[in-house]
Amino acid sequence: MKRKTQRKIRQIYCPYCDILLEYHGAHRIQLGRYGWFIEHWEHLLAGSLNVQLYVCPKCGKIEMFRERK
Ligand SMILES: [Zn+2]
């Protein structure tokens, strides 16, 4: 049994709605294609970035966490 993709899901509350954000799994983001990425991330992580997404079901706020290798 090997489940290295098993991840710890955080309990994060939306700062606006005070409800738990829904975990939306891991996503791969291609850096450079999305202009909304903070610039200083780019020299930290070349290429793509794996993030874990959490989304507020009410207001749509998105919280992202970089996945550790
Ligand atoms: Zn919210």
Is this model's pTM higher than 0.75 or not?
Answer: no
Residues contacting 55, CB < 8 A, separation 6+: 21, 22, 24, 61, 62, 63
For residue range 38-64, list pLDDT tens digits in order. 555 555 556 777 889 999 999 999 999
Find the Cα–Cα–Cα–Cα dihedral 38, 28, 66, 68, rounded to 10°.
-140
Total number of domains in the chain: 1
For residue range 7-44, list pLDDT tens digits in order. 678 899 999 999 999 999 998 877 665 555 555 555 55
Q: How far is the CA of 46 from the centre of ligand 1 (A)?
A: 31
Q: How far is the CA of 66 from the centre of ligand 1 (A)?
A: 21
What is d(CA 49, CA 43) in angstroms, rounded to the nearest whole number?
Answer: 12
60: its two tokens:
């749509």
Residue 6 confidence class, pLDDT cut points 50, 70, 90? low
Residue 50 lies in a domain: yes
Q: How far is the CA of 25 from the centre of ligand 1 (A)?
A: 18
Residue 38 lies in a domain: yes
Residue 58 lies in a domain: yes
Q: How far is the CA of 43 from the centre of ligand 1 (A)?
A: 31
Residues spanned by the domain of 54 = 27-66
Q: Where does residue 54 rank: exposed (0-12), middle (13-18), buried (19+ CB within 10 A)?
A: buried
Which residues crowd ion ligand 1, with CB under 5 Å?
14, 16-17, 56, 58-59, 61
